[in-house]
Amino acid sequence: MAGTGPAVTSVETTAIKPPADMDRLRAALEEQARALGFDCIGVTAPGTIEHAGKYFLEFIAAGGHGDMDWLAAQPERRVDPRGLWSDVRSVIMLGVNYGPDSDPLAILKQRTRAAISVYAQGDDYHDLIKKRLKALARWLVATAPSDVKVFVDTAAVMEKPLAQAARLGWQGKHTNLVSREFGSWLFLGAIYTTLELPRDVAEIDHCGSCQACLEICPTAAFPAPYKLDARRCISYLTIENKGPIPREFRKAIGNRIYGCDDCLAACPWNKFAQEGREARLAARDELRAPALAELARLDDTAFRALFAKSPVKRIGRDRFLRNVLIAIGNSGDATLADEARRLLDDASPLVRGAAVWALGQLVEGEEFAEMRLHALEREPDESVREEWRADSAVSPSS
Annotated binding residues for tRNA: 242
DSSP label at residue 31: H
In whole angstroms, give the CA distance from residue 68 to residue 297.
Answer: 29
- Is there a contact between 246 and 219 (Cβ–Cβ < 8 Å)? no
**Angle 268-71-162 from CA coordinates, rounded to 5°:** 50
* DSSP symbols for 143-156: HS---EEEE-SSSS
With a CB cutoff of 8 Å and minimum separation 6, the contacts of 292 are 112, 113, 114, 255, 257, 324, 327, 328, 331, 336, 339
**Which positions make up the binding site for [4Fe-4S] cluster?**
207, 210, 213, 217, 233, 260, 263, 267
Q: Examine the residue annotation and report whether 391 is marked as an active-site residue of this protein.
A: no
Catalytic-role residue among 39, 153, 229, 318: 153
Closest to 300 (Cα-Cα) out of 348, 345, 354: 348
Measured CA distances, 59 to 6, 181, 218 (Å): 21, 29, 21
Q: Which residues pair with 9 in a beta bridge?
A: 150
∠ CA 175-176-182, rounded to 5°? 150
Known binding positions: 78, 153, 177, 188, 207, 210, 213, 217, 233, 235, 242, 260-261, 263, 267
For residues 328 and 260, give the distance between their C-alpha atoms in angstroms, rounded to a whole number.
17
Which are the contacts of 50, defined by CB distance < 8 A and separation ≥ 6?
Answer: 79, 80
Sequence ranges of the binding site for cob(II)alamin: 78, 153, 177, 188, 235, 260-261
Q: What radius of gyration do the chain's Cα atoms show?
A: 23
Residues designated as active site: 153
